[in-house]
Amino acid sequence: MADILNSSRQKNSTDDPLPGGLLFENMQIEWRIAFLALRIISVLSNLALAVAVYADRTSKAGPRLLIGNLAVSGFLLSACLFPVMSLQEWMPPGFISSPCAVISVVFFFATAVSWADVGLAVNRTVAICFPFYYDTFRSQKVTWALIAFSWSLSTVIALLTATETGVKFLYLQKLQCTITVTSQFGYFYSSLGTVIPYVFIGTASIGIFVVARVKLHQPPADVVAGARTIRLLKRRLVIAKAMFVSLLWSLICVLPAFIMISTPGLAEDVRRKSWLGNLVSACWAMMYGGNPVIYFAMSPPYRQYLLQVVCPGLRTTRSARVRPSVRGDGTSAQDQEFALQKRTRTATHTSTV
């Protein structure tokens, strides 16, 4: 979000405050190739996750649509922004007249991705912490409302940024662009796209794991119903764990950008600190390209769905075949949950009488 967007490099040696500017430009080729490779991986990984979610026909609409929204928003960000950033790096100076023209677009897609994660966090929180309400909450009506809210908020933040409401575009040596906040309102809506979603997801993850730990270690009144409830809880925790690992990965990737924008004088001296600017650009692609990889790594059914789409003739083994009973998000067994919970409550009441 706060990534300093690289623009066309000017090769005039008078613009480079460092000696050896020609060597700096030659070394930039290696960075540009690395950026291009990471951005291609990001596009393909998000597209692969979107295809896998689309091929999933066993899970319920709620978590399926939310994970699909996360994949689609990540794909749109990668497919729309990364080519522009690569053109800024590879084309001659002046190819893109204003490096600040894409700042509002960055805010739009980055906010959409962040709040897609928030919608998934809300879904997992209700599923694990408030299971009696989950049958209603995972309906398509509520799910589409969460998705619509994320994209509407993204549109509002992008419009506020484009009109420089509470913020101001800052050109750095006519080569790069970032924004500076000029009012409390600017701080607020900028945080809505950056800090607030991560805080919410982190808080929800802590609550989910605390409640899950208590439930897993609580002795059930009914052994059979308790065992089934625990299996369902563990299946639902798969996506919750992937969500938390994705949060940690995002925090690691935004650390260089946070250092750059929070250190006094560092942004203005960005040419002298070019290695940090390059690291910010690399982490920007790694963050959005790594999130789908995390979901694939922690949810084997999605890998199988992707293989079935890419290689439809591939024969799967019995152990690898995707079945509703082993879904990573645990939605296939939700129809049994309320009966199990009622049986548990009935057995508890009977034992206390």
Q: What is the pLDDT of residues 215-268, one digit of tens each?
A: 888 877 777 777 888 888 888 899 899 999 999 999 898 887 777 666 655 545
Dihedral sign of CA atoms 123, 147, 332, 300 in order: negative
Q: Does domain 5-352 have CATH number 1.20.1070.10?
A: yes
Say what the pLDDT of residue 348 is. 41
User: Bridge-partner residues for 179, per DSSP?
Assistant: 169
- The single-letter DSSP state of residue 123 is H
CB–CB of 164/178 below 8 Å?
Answer: no
Residue 72 burial by CB count (10 A; 0-12/13-18/19+): exposed, middle or buried?
A: buried
Higher pLDDT, 305 or 348: 305
Higher pLDDT, 62 or 323: 62
**75-114 in b/e burial notation, b at 16+ Cβ within 10 A?**
bbbbeebbebbbebbeeeeeebeebbebbbbbbbbbbbbb
Say what the pLDDT of residue 170 is. 76
CA–CA separation, 279 and 30 (whole Å): 13
Say what the pLDDT of residue 332 is. 45
Kindly state the tokens that stand for 79: 């497919």
Task: Give this prediction's pTM.
Answer: 0.77
Place of tokens 């963050």: 287
